[in-house]
Structures are given as C-alpha cells and as structure tokens.
Structure 1
Amino acid sequence: MPERRRIYRAWLRQEDLTFFEVKVKETDLLLGVRRERFSSSLVWKVEKLVREQRQLLEDYLRRDPAFAAALVPHKPLPGAPPLAWAMAGAAELAGVGPMAAVAGAFADLVGKYLGRFSREVVVENGGDIYLKSSRQRIVGIYAGNSPLSSRVALAIPADLTPLGICTSSGTVGHSLSFGKADAAVVLAANAALADAAATALGNRVRTPEDIEEALSFIQKIPGVLGAVVILGKHLGVWGKAKLVPLLPANS
C-alpha cells in the first residue's frame, strides 16, 4: 500500500493546485485546492472535521458491530451518524457491506467541505478519489503487476465533476476482495457509491472471461457513470471512463 499511495499521490499533484495531507488514525488524506484558497487554518479545519466524524462513526460501530462486519447491505440503527447512512445507502445500491464505502464516504465528506472554499478540489483517501474541477484532469490507474499498470489513465472532463473515482483490487493492498482483478475502477456520482461499486465489480472478476459480465452488472447500478477492469494484460472499459496514455509527465 505505501508504494501504491506514493504513485497515486505523485499523479495527483497537479501544478495549479496546492496539496496538503491530513492523517487521523487510519484516515490518510491527500487534499488539493486552488493555491490562493490554501491556508494553515484550512488544514486545521479539515483535521477537526475528520476527527469529529471518525469519532462519531467509531462510537456507532461499537453500538452496532454487525454494521462493521457485514458483507452484504446492512441498515443502520436509529440515531446512526450521517456518514453511516451514506455508507449504507451506497452499499445497498452495490449489494455489498457498508464498510466497502467507508473510504469513499470520507472522501465525499471532506471534498464537499473543501468545495465551500475552492472550486478546484481533489481528495484522495487510500486510492479512492473525490474530484471537483473546472478543467479536465488526468487520473492514472495503478494495477499492481499488470503490464497495463501505470500505463493508462482516466481523462475526466470538468462537466463530469464533482464525482467519485474509486479502485478495488484483488492483488494490491489489504482491502477485502473476493476477485482477482488487478484494478476494478468505478466512476460514480459520489465517492461512497464509487467505492462500494468498485468492490462489487472487483468481486466479480476472477478470470478474463468474467470481465464482460462484471461490466454488464455494474451498468445496472444507479449513479454509476463508468468502469474499467484490468486483469493481467486484459482490459475492459464501459461508460464515461475515457482512457488515455499515462505520459511520463503525469507519473
């Protein structure tokens, strides 16, 4: 995961933005805003937001441990924090457990907050991304040992944002996946949904023959905009996922 994080973060550090990091326990964020909108107080405000929301979620998980353990959709208990409801809603659409959406849900939370200060926002949380932009952005795809890894990227037009871009992998990192995809990438209306849907997509890919059926499945989830699957030398693409070469200048 450290190697993957370094690669993602090198790709995301675009010259017109100022980037900073916020780390609270397992939540490790890279954040980008317009240069003139950055300030040390903004870093403090984001860290405070993340600490508060993590505490609310941790308190809730102690009250409802089944929520954390579920591998299928799970309805939150009354009084659950908004973050838990966002995770559960995304998981319900994708047919996975709510914790599959936790990184994306935090990316959404922070991204929307930063959007109050900057019209350009990038939030990366463990390879899961919230993006709001007034210009096209290039987002590279890391796919472990696949020969396509670090060779292709997504071109994201401004009018498609804000959106979530999230990746699941059965060969990279420690996140739970029942599949073997080197990268299952989903573009969706928000990062929580993209995160949950990427897990569902990755779970369905064990061999190259599974790619077409998995992409057919993902098309049926409301709010999903596009998807990419990489398994070894095999590649599948659907929807508004526009692939371009990842040039050395972006790596």
Structure 2
Amino acid sequence: MYEPRGYREKVPDDGLRTFRVVLGESDLWIRASEDLSEEALRTLREARRQLARYIRRDPGFLRALTPYPVGEDAPQLVKEMAEAGKKAEVGPMAAVAGAIAEHVGRRLCELSGEVIVENGGDIFLSLSRPRRVGILAGGSPLSGKLALEIKPEETPCSVCTSSGTVGHSLSFGRADAAVVVAEGGALADAVATALGNRVREPE
C-alpha cells in the first residue's frame, strides 16, 4: 500500500538528480549525479527476483521472526539478511529494506560519484561531501529537530530507522524512531528493528 512520503520533498536541491523507482513493495527515492533510473530499476528487479525465488524454495525465511539459517547456495542478498538477523537476534526479513537500498546503491556507485538511496526510511549513502540525515519520529516533540551528520570518509554506509508508531513495518515495540548507522544496510536495518522492539510502554 502506498504511503505519502512528504519528507522527501524537504530535501534541498543541490545539483544532484533526483528520481524515484517503484517495484512491488519497494519505493526507492534516489539521488545521483545523473538520472540512473533504468539501471536502478534493473538492479532492484533482479534483487527482488532473487529474494522471491529463494522464498518460494524456503517459505520459512519469509515468516521467521527469529534468526533463520540459510544454505551456502543461497543468493548473497539472502545470506546478508540472514547474517544480519543472526547478529541482531531478529528474523531475516527485518533486514530487507536496508539490504535492498544498499544493493541498489552499490551498483549505482559504479556510475555516479555520489549516491543516496532511501527505501522507506532506510538509507544508503556514498558521499562526496558532508550531509545531514534528518530524524523523523512521528508525534515525538523531537521529530524533525535532530539530524546525523555523515562525512564522506564514513561512507559508503547505511542509516536505518525502525518505528513502532510510524509506517507499516512490523515492530513489537513503541519506539518513535530507533536509528542505527552501520557499514551494511542489512545489519543497520536488523539492529534498528531489534532496538525498536525493546522500547515498550511504561507498565
């Protein structure tokens, strides 16, 4: 189901080309030195195809809410999600948005000196100058008032957010925004989910 993402319109124009790629549940907002939407769509389609094929073969991967082992013959994307889930002690699908953002972003890095890929609040960055990533946290009084400054030498990296009060992603907690920065998108996404799950209403 499509959800309006007005925060995308608040990013200032600084010379990068902005384009959107949508396929199935994936809605990618991308910034690069030129319009690479065709290559982004091609890469996204292949990533989703690999994931869908694996899930047809092993449906438990989709349903697991705890770490789930995969075989050596699994696609690299699936292995990364499973490993991230193992480290964060969550199911592998908790890592899917961050993993896909990174997968597409790293391909586009071969064609552009600077790449930003945002996938529903999970962001891959490869930067040529410092940039700030704003933190939106639903009804929290801090929403939109905090940001992380990411330096070029810290990239490529991923910034992923999990929320129990905003969006449609599964969370067992009540965090407005659990934010994690990591080198890998799958790991950042999985750990953000795990942290968000731990934030509960006062008893």
- TM normalised by structure 1 equals 0.76
Amino acid in structure 2 at the alignment position of 1:25: G
Q: CA deviation at 1:207?
A: 4.5
**Cα distance in 2 for residues equivalent to 1:73 and 1:13:** 39
Instruction: Compute the displacement of 1:55 (Å).
Output: 1.3
Residue in structure 1 matched with residue 144 of structure 2 by the alignment: 150
Q: Deviations over 1:58-100 (max 9, x none)?
A: 1110111111111111111343221111111111111110000
Rounded to whole Å, the distance in 2 between the matches of 1:82 and 1:6 is 33
Structure showing greater radius of gyration is 1
Question: What do the CA deviations read for 1:158-197 (whole angstroms, capped 9, x no partner)?
Answer: 2211111000001111111111110000011111111000
Partner secondary structure for residue 96 of structure 1:
coil
**Other-structure match for 2:66:** 72
Two-structure CA RMSD over aligned residues (Å)? 1.7
**Residue identity opposite 1:165 in structure 2:** V
- Any unmatched runs of 5+ in structure 2? none
Matched residue, 2:15: 16
Alignment of 1:56 with 2:57, yes or no, is: no
Q: Secondary structure at the match of 2:143?
A: coil
C-alpha spacing 1:208/1:184, structure 2 compared with 1 (3 Å)? farther
* Counterpart residue identity of residue 57, structure 1: L
Match of 2:188 among 182, 194, 204: 194
Is the partner of 2:22 in helix, strand or coil?
strand
SS at match of 1:106: helix
- Describe the shift of the 1:12–1:131 C-alpha distance in structure 2 as closer, same or farther (beyond 3 A): farther
CA distance in 1, matches of 2:75, 2:196: 28
The answer for the alignment partner of 2:3 in structure 1 is: 2
Unaligned runs of 5+ in 1: 210-251
Offset of residue 12 of structure 1 = 4.1
Q: Structure 1 residues 14, 157: CA separation in 2 closer, same or farther (over 3 Å shift)?
A: farther
Render the CA deviation track for 1:36-60: whole Å, top value 9, x for unaligned: xx14xx3212211211221121111
Q: Is the Cα–Cα contact under 8 Å of residues 70 and 98 in structure 1 kept in the other structure?
A: yes
2:26 match: 27
Identity, in percent, stands at 53
- SS in structure 2 at match of 1:103: helix
**What CA deviation, in whole Å up to 9, does each residue of 1:228-250 have, x standing for no partner?**
xxxxxxxxxxxxxxxxxxxxxxx
**Cα pair 1:187 1:194 within 8 Å, conserved:** yes
